[in-house]
Amino acid sequence: MTLFDPTLPPAQYLAHADLIHDEAAVRLAIAELAAALKLSLHDSQPLVLCVMGGAVVLAGQLLPLLDFPLEFDYVQASRYHNQTQGQTLLWKVLPSHHVKDRTVVLIDDILDEGHTLAAIREKCLEQGASRVVIAVLAEKLLGHEKPIRADHVGLQVPNRYVFGCGMDVYGWWRNLPAIYALPEQVSPAALSG
Ligand SMILES: O=P(O)(O)OC[C@H]1O[C@H](OP(=O)(O)OP(=O)(O)O)[C@H](O)[C@@H]1O
Ligand code: HPA
C-alpha cells in the first residue's frame, strides 16, 4: 500500500476518491446557510469576507441568495500550500481597514483544524471589527476541540482529506461541484492500472 503523492496525474485523485456529498446536497446546504445568514444578519449591513482561494465556489453560490444589503471583500491566507497537511499560515492579503466597527462575515470552504479561521478572526478583531460571524461550507469531524467554532456549518465531512467545491487536492479539482475524499491508502497496482 502507498499514500497518495502530489505527482500523480489529477485524474487519479478523482478516480480513487469516495463521493462524500453530491452536488444536490451541496446546493441544499448552501441554501440552508443562506437562510441562516439571512435570519441573523439581514439588518446588520455586514462586510462579507471571502477567504480565498478555497471559498470562491461557496461565495459564488451563496452571495446571490443573500437578499439584504452587504459589502463584499476578500482575505487570503494559506496554510496547506497545495499539500494535504497544514503548515505555517502565510498571509497573502490582509483584511482591509474597512472592518472597523463592522459586522464581518468570514466565509470559507472548510473548517479543518481551525487555525486559519482563528487567525483571520483574530486579525479582524485586532483591526476593530465589532462582531465576526463564521460560515463554512464544510466542517471536518476531528473528534477533538478546535481553536475556533463556526457559527454556521453547511455539511460535515469525515476526518479524511476532502476536495471539490473550492477545496483542492495538490492544487487540482477546486472546480468539482461535489465533495470527495481521498482514500487513506491505495495500492501501487491500482495507481498504475
Ligand atoms: O482549518 P485549517 O486546518 O486551518 O484549514 C482550513 C483552511 O485550509 C484551506 O486553505 P488553504 O491553506 O489550503 O489555502 P487555499 O484556500 O488557497 O486552498 C481552506 O480553504 C481553509 O482556509
Ligand atoms: O481536507 C481538506 N481539503 C482541502 N483543503 C483543506 N484545507 C484544510 N483541510 C482541507
> Is 21 within 8 Å of 179 (Cβ atoms)?
yes
Residues, the chain: 193
172 backbone φψ class: left, alpha, beta (φ>0; ψ -120 to 50): beta
Please state, in angstroms and rounded to a whole number, the distance separating the CA atoms of residues 46 and 5. 41
Please indicate whether residue 139, judged by its CB atom, sits closer than 6 Å to ligand 1: no
How many angstroms is it from 30 CA to the middle of ligand 2? 18
Task: Kindly state if the Cβ of 162 falls inside 6 Å of ligand 1.
Answer: no
The rounded distance, in Å, linking the Cα atoms of 132 and 193 is 49
| Cα 40 to averaged position of ligand 1 atoms, centre (Å) | 25
Q: Does pLDDT of 2 surpass 80?
A: no
Reported in sequence order, the residue ranges of 65-149 that DSSP labels E, i.e. its strands, are: 71-78, 90-93, 103-111, 131-140
**Mind listing the domains of the chain with CATH numbers?**
22-160 (3.40.50.2020)
- The residue with greater pLDDT, 185 or 109, is 109
Count other C-beta atoms under 10 Å from residue 189's C-beta: 8
Residue among 14, 51, 81, 112 to mutate when testing ligand 2 (max atoms within 8 A of CB): 112
What's the pLDDT score for residue 1? Answer: 47
Q: How many CB atoms lie within 10 A of CB 141?
A: 11
- Determine the 3-state secondary structure of 55 from DSSP: coil
Cα distances (angstroms) measured from residue 131 to each of 47, 95, 127? 10, 14, 11
Q: Which of 178, 139, 180 is nearest to 163 (CA)?
A: 180
Mutation test of ligand 1: which of 75, 110, 120 has the most ligand atoms closer than 8 Å to its C-beta?
A: 110
**Closest ligand to residue 140's CA:** 2
**Contact of 151 with 173, CB cutoff 8 Å:** no
Q: What is the pLDDT of residue 5?
A: 83
Per-residue pLDDT reduced to its tens digit, 129-151? 999 999 999 999 999 999 999 99
The ipTM (two decimal places) reads: 0.97
Please give the average per-residue pLDDT across 166-171, as a whole number. Answer: 96
Q: What distances in angstroms separate CA 36 from CA 7, 62, 179, one per listed residue?
A: 40, 11, 22
Whether 29 and 57 have beta carbons less than 8 Å apart is answered as no
Q: Identify which has the larger pLDDT, 97 or 193.
A: 97
**What pLDDT was estimated at residue 188?**
66
Cβ of 110 less than 6 Å from ligand 1: yes
Instruction: State the residue for C-alpha cell 487536492.
Output: 169
Q: What is the per-residue pLDDT across 51-95, written as a single tens digit (0 to 9) for each?
A: 999 999 999 999 999 999 999 999 999 999 989 999 999 999 998
